[in-house]
Amino acid sequence: MARCLYLLWFLFFWFLLCSSTLLKITATEDLSIKKGILKERVRKMFYHAYDNYMAHAFPHDELKPISKTFTDSLSELGNLKLEHLPGNYKGSALTLIESLSSLLILGNNTEFERAVLWLSDNLIFDVDARVNLFECNIRVLGGLGSALVIRQSYIAEDLGRRFLLAFDTPSGVPYAWINLKYGVMENETTETSTSGCGSLILEMGALSRLTGDSRYEASALRALRMIWSMRSPLNLMGTTLDVVSGDWIEHSSGIGAGVDSFYEYLLKAYILFGNEEFWNMFKSAYIAVQKYFRHGPWYHESDMRTGKATYWQLTSLQAFWPGLQILVGDVAAANSSHREFFHVWEKYGVLPERYLLDMGMLHPTERYYPLRPELAESTFYLYQATKDPWYLDVGETIIESLNRYTKVDGGFASIRDVTTMQLEDHQHSFFLSETCKYLYLLFDDSFLANQNYIFTTEGHLLPVRSRWHARLPETYVSTNLTSLKNKHQQYHQESAMTQQICPATNLAQKLESVCHVPDARIDHRCKVNYDCGIDSITCRDRSCSLAGYCGLWSHH
Ligand SMILES: *[C@@H]1O[C@H](CO)[C@@H](O)[C@H](O)[C@H]1NC(C)=O
Ligand SMILES: *[C@@H]1O[C@H](CO)[C@@H](O)[C@H](O)[C@H]1NC(C)=O
Ligand SMILES: *[C@@H]1O[C@H](CO)[C@@H](O)[C@H](O)[C@H]1NC(C)=O
Ligand SMILES: *[C@@H]1O[C@H](CO)[C@@H](O)[C@H](O)[C@H]1NC(C)=O
């Protein structure tokens, strides 16, 4: 009996001695097993999206996963009113182009080679289709450019040459739209966005470095310098501008739609090309954002002229910001914003397009979730920087939501309304180039082990090479803003937001909602009706009560 007890005590102490080491080993093992399982789930998601696209939509642009058909959507991207749609455009294999760099990361070199070969033989850009320069740049030129770095192929150059025609403007800032076959159309809109003309430098710069033709980089840089020279004394930018007069049209801006990738490209251009000029622009712009837009972990919009808050809204595109903050090293700020975004994801199951922070409610019309990548992207960066396993749980939650709500037999469908989880028959190409890629890299970053890369705003890879850190071409003449102003004084455009055009309630029409609530006063106290702006739900003017509160009081 006593011997037996001794043995038990011995075993007990032995257990105590080993358990601490054992626990550690089990924890690391658990973690790598968990990462392995989740990585395989993302791989399955990618191939479910990819194989269905190849079966039902290729060589058209994007898959309609519910009806298992296709949409030739390149000419519809950014074209909210669906104007000037081409008659006989048959698609450019957009989703295949967008999948190239993801195939590499997943280690499928055979399929990558097969795709590049098909594209070199079949892709033609001499088509009568009006496309958005920004969308076509980040998706098509970016996707092909990324492949071009790895595999010599000159299809990207043909597209780049067509882009150059857009830059022939008095300001040097390119038109937002270009017809691939005929160049800029007659009576083309002269309004473009800050991100539309300020985030071309990575793709066009890379194209110049690869082909030795400096015109692409020179054009993009000239445009970037021009809009940077248009910043306010507070170092703030507006959201839209006129490419002929060089005037701002929309003076309110934030870090979301219409501006987001402008900031992203200043920092990433510095990383890719090593030029201090980009860093100096980024530093000033970043400080201004943190000073005038940030409110705790949230970001609102402000007027570039006064720095005063305008719209208190969370938009799902803003979720990329913590990822950018990781590249700057601002880990704590990134962590706190990312947590708030993730709480909104948890609340609704996915991230709704727009959320009214001041009212604590969803936007009345922008309740969709089109499979956007931004939260997964930031989660990937935060995990890389902190190795905090909590971010793996975030990734797991995102994977579970995507599979539960958006997976259908024929691919992954967008969500039309996060309150009903009603689906929309559209699998956006960025689901393959970004959403799946960032989730995969969260659990397996071995692709990034031997080479430094930066990701374009569409998730395409560009290797960071020291020989690209040479001086930039010095051939550009910067535009004289003063003389441009004198020449085009007659132009004055008003933004839709300034005009307070109300949103279309019919989502099928795809009109952008521009009904916002200007909110100069945080406490909603007012002196005159003008202080109260318009109501975002009814789109009626709000008025100021006798007690000094804004509301929908009837006018008498
Ligand atoms: C590469 O992709 C193709 C098409 O989806 C698939 O048939 C093949 O099994 C994949 N190869 C690897 C190694 O994953
Ligand atoms: C361009 O606009 C002018 C003035 O609005 C109009 O007279 C002309 O027909 C338009 N041209 C085209 C090709 O739409
Ligand atoms: C992120 O925030 C959480 C909660 O506030 C905190 O526990 C954690 O330590 C933070 N991590 C970093 C890297 O700042
Ligand atoms: C820009 O143009 C204005 C008026 O045409 C002129 O006075 C000014 O010197 C010019 N500035 C530069 C930098 O060339």
Q: What is the largest CA-CA distance in the chain?
A: 105
Counting ligands in written order, the one closest to the CA of 477 is 4
Q: Would you place residue 359 in the very low, low, confident or very high pLDDT band (cuts 50, 70, 90)?
A: confident
Q: Tell me, what's the pLDDT at 519? A: 40
DSSP helix/strand/coil, 483: helix
Is 377 known to be catalytic?
A: no
Is 260 known to be catalytic?
A: yes
pLDDT over 60 (residue 379): yes
Q: Which two tokens stand for residue 350?
A: 């996915």
What average pLDDT does this structure show over 10-15? 58
Q: Tell me, what's the pLDDT at 416? A: 96
479 is in an annotated binding site: no
pLDDT over 70 (residue 478): no
Give the angle subtended at the CA of 246 by the CAs of 245 and 250, to the nearest 5°: 105
Of the residues 260, 264, 424, 458, only one is catalytic, namely: 260
Q: Tell me, what's the pLDDT at 39? A: 97
- Rounded to 10 degrees, the C-alpha dihedral 133/138/140/143 comes to 160
Other C-beta atoms within 10 Å of 266: how many? 25
User: Which residue's CA lies nearest to atom 2 of ligand 4?
Assistant: 483
What average pLDDT does this structure show over 203-208? 93
Q: What distance in Å separates the CA atoms of residue 377 and residue 343, rounded to the nearest whole number? A: 16
pLDDT over 90 (residue 487): no
Q: Which of 335, 341, 378 has the most ligand 3 atoms within 8 A of CB, as the residue to mutate?
A: 335
Q: Which residue has the higher pLDDT, 266 or 521?
A: 266
Q: Which of 84, 177, 187, 190 has the most ligand 2 atoms within 8 A of CB, as the residue to mutate?
A: 187
Q: What distance in Å separates the CA atoms of residue 301 and residue 233, rounded to the nearest whole number? A: 17
Of the residues 191, 250, 374, 424, only one is catalytic, namely: 374
CB 477 less than 6 A from any atom of ligand 4: no
pLDDT over 70 (residue 192): yes
Q: Residue 364 gets which letter from DSSP? A: S
Q: Tell me, what's the pLDDT at 502? A: 41
Q: Would you place residue 146 in the very low, low, confident or very high pLDDT band (cuts 50, 70, 90)?
A: confident
C-alpha distances (whole Å) from 20 to each of 8, 10, 13, 24, 34 are 19, 17, 12, 6, 21
Q: What distance in Å separates the CA atoms of residue 392 and residue 37, rounded to the nearest whole number? A: 12
Q: Would you place residue 477 in the very low, low, confident or very high pLDDT band (cuts 50, 70, 90)?
A: very low
Q: How does pLDDT run across 282-305, given as a tens digit for each residue?
A: 999 999 999 999 998 999 999 999
pLDDT over 90 (residue 149): no
Of the residues 72, 191, 250, 353, only one is catalytic, namely: 353
Q: How does pLDDT run across 53-93, given as a tens digit for each residue?
A: 999 999 999 999 999 999 999 999 988 778 888 888 999 99
Quick one: CA dihedral 303, 309, 310, 313, positive or negative?
A: positive
The domain spans of the chain are: 518-555
CB 325 less than 6 A from any atom of ligand 3: no
Counting ligands in written order, the one closest to the CA of 84 is 2
Q: Would you place residue 503 in the very low, low, confident or very high pLDDT band (cuts 50, 70, 90)?
A: very low
What average pLDDT does this structure show over 169-177? 95
